Chain A
Amino acid sequence: MRNVLAWILRNKTVAIVCRLALAAIFIYAAVGKVLKPSDFADSVAGFRILPIPVVNIFAIVLPWVEVVCGLSLITGVFMRSGGVLLAGLNIVFIAAAASAMARGLSIECGCFTLSHAGDTVGWSLIARDVGFLLLCLPVVLQRRSMGGPRYPAA
């Protein structure tokens, strides 16, 4: 079992598929937030986690973090750092969703404000974010030699 996991995490094809999937997901997620920053800021405020004055700056910057990380995964520039950052974001999203659920908040997460698909905070959202987090692992754990244009394959 351990060998299978190690093979999955180190497999070059798996890593590439995960990279591209993550990039597509997070760039798509960012588009809606960039187009409707006001809606996204309202969603962020709905979590009642951040102090109100910093909600807007968070809502302005976060979508671009997703875009930049997505581009880094596509281009291979700072790719592992992009993967680490996305993994960190997913951990934050999971913690925020769990916190909202624990406080009994019934809110929209604002994750994909273009589609509103599965946008309500709940177990399905946490499961989805855990899935995204798992997608980050092969990207973060892969060998440098698999990194992309900057690290030609051995």
Chain B
Amino acid sequence: MPAALKAIARVGILVAVATVLGIASNALRSDGLPLIRKPLSETRPTVKREQLMAETPQRKPNPPTSEKPPVTESLPSAVALETPTKQPSEPVKPKTEVAPTQEAKKPKPAARKIQALFTNLNDAKACFDNKSAIFLDSRAVEDFEAEHIAGALWLGFESVEEDYQKVLGKIPKDRLLVTYCSDVQCASAIKLADALVALGHTRVVIMLEGLPGWRDAGYPTSSGMKAGD
């Protein structure tokens, strides 16, 4: 066999061994990946606009405690932001009378996966227009500084534990949060959203179109760093 063919055959053997090892190790893992990847947009549901908007509480800077507290889980549980089994301690609000009783009738989905849901560009813009949402940019901080959705805050998913208090520490857990990153194949906004849900936030959605989609639609952006970054 000519030397070149022999070399190619040996390379092929190495690749074949690696392929077998890779697939076998993936099959043995509890968190193994599916061999065929789905587009991110198909990995979880999208919140419908009327569900997102209808239950968006009109926020005031400091709602008086006498006022009827906003519904704590305003994204309907049907499309669920799956409620964390243990609600985080809320400084102001008692657990509402309404929500718990409704919840009490249902059996608690004990070990359901907690995850944030998607929203689309137009619905996110509607939330932007009525100032009902806080936009969170999960891209690299340099990219945020160069351009971001107007009024957005920076919170990287890798540093969410360290920066959370600084950025969102005083934000009520039921405030609508919209995370975004680069585009429809960028996973960091999803990871950030899931991290925020795990931290107790009940209304977190992901705008998968990201900054490019927002910019291309002609929606407002700004640059520089914001407070809380």
A→B interface (CB under 8 Å): 34, 37-38, 41-42, 45-46, 48, 52-57, 59-65, 67-69, 72, 78, 80-82, 84-85, 105-107, 116, 120
Contacts and interface: CB of A to CB of B under 8 A. Distances in A.
Interface in B146-187: 158, 182, 185-187
A120 B15 CA distance: 27
8 contacts: A46-B186, A60-B22, A61-B23, A64-B19, A78-B13, A106-B142, A107-B182, A120-B140
Interface residues of B, number: 35
A41 B14 contact: no
Contacts of A38: 31, 33
Given A80-B7, A106-B140, A56 B33 contact: yes
Contacts of A53: 36-38
B94 interface: no
Contact of A41 (B19, B33, B158, B188): B33
Contact of A37 (B13, B32, B39, B185): B32
A68 B26 contact: no
Contact of A45 (B25, B32, B37): B37
B97 to A, nearest CB: 41
A63 B18 CA distance: 8
B139 interface: yes
Interface of B: 7, 10-11, 13-15, 17-19, 21-23, 25-26, 29, 31-40, 139-140, 142-143, 158, 182, 185-188
A78 B185 contact: no
Nearest to B185: A45
Contacts of B22: 60-65
A85 B15 CA distance: 9
Given A52-B38, A72-B14, A78-B13, A59 B33 contact: yes
Contacts of A45: 37, 40, 185, 187
Given A60-B22, A65-B22, A68-B21, 9 more contacts: A37-B31, A45-B40, A46-B187, A53-B36, A60-B33, A61-B22, A64-B19, A67-B21, A84-B11
Contacts of B11: 81, 84-85
Given A69-B14, A81-B11, A85-B15, A34 B25 contact: yes
A65 B18 CA distance: 5
B139 A106 contact: yes
Contacts of A85: 11, 14-15
A63 B185 CA distance: 21
A41 B186 CA distance: 11
Nearest to A68: B18
Contacts of A120: 140
A15 to B, nearest CB: 17
B11 to A, nearest CB: 5
Contacts of B17: 64, 68
